[in-house]
Amino acid sequence: MPDWSAIEASFLRQPHAQQLGELAASLARLNSWSQKSAREEVVPVLLSESLLYLSLLQRESQINGELAQLQGLLQDCQQNWVDTWDNSTETTNIADIASTWSQRVLAMSGVLTSESMSA
């Protein structure tokens, strides 16, 4: 099981843009692992990680409506995981959600813009 305290401390030391980048990376991993055979064990951890990041973002500053929507989607996925992990349609849906949101959050972060890359 991950050391959630260490993950939280590391996350909170980062600037806001990098925190969003971490969330985007976690969602990208969720997308990838949702499509693998070991998903039963890994996906719940990645859902917890993404939800932790969202919770920390919310604690530090109000998360916007988009991130609140993502939080609701991930909570639904987490609550239903026991019933859906072996359903390829449902796991594909989780992968699609994670992929779409990973790209959106990465865009929100601005970490890939030319201005932040030159800083």
Question: How do residues 38-79 score in pLDDT, each as one tens digit?
Answer: 788 899 999 999 999 999 998 877 667 889 999 999 999 999
* Cβ atoms of residues 47 and 73 within 8 Å: no
The predicted-structure confidence for 8-28, as pLDDT tens digits, reads as follows 999 999 999 999 999 999 999
**Is 81 within the bounds of a domain?**
yes
**Is 10 within the bounds of a domain?**
no
**Burial classification of residue 5, based on how many CB atoms lie within 10 Å of its CB (0-12 exposed, 13-18 middle, 19 or more buried):** exposed
Is the whole model's pTM more than 0.95, yes or no? no
Domains contained in the chain, number? 1
**Is 63 within the bounds of a domain?**
yes
**Is 116 within the bounds of a domain?**
no
According to DSSP H, which parts of 35-113 are helical? Answer: 39-60, 65-84, 88-109
* Cβ atoms of residues 85 and 43 within 8 Å: yes
**Is 85 within the bounds of a domain?**
yes
Is residue 107 very low, low, confident or very high in pLDDT (cuts 50, 70, 90)? very high
Q: Is residue 117 over pLDDT 60?
A: no
CATH number of domain containing 45: 1.20.120
Neighbours of 60 (CB within 10 A): 12
**Is 89 within the bounds of a domain?**
yes
Q: Is residue 115 over pLDDT 70?
A: no
**Is 12 within the bounds of a domain?**
no
Task: Give residue 111's pLDDT.
Answer: 80
pLDDT higher at 79 or 119: 79
Cα separations (Å) of 12 from 53, 73, 107?
A: 9, 23, 20
Domain carrying residue 71? 18-110
**Is 13 within the bounds of a domain?**
no
**Dihedral pair phi/psi, residue 3, rounded to 5°:** -85, 90
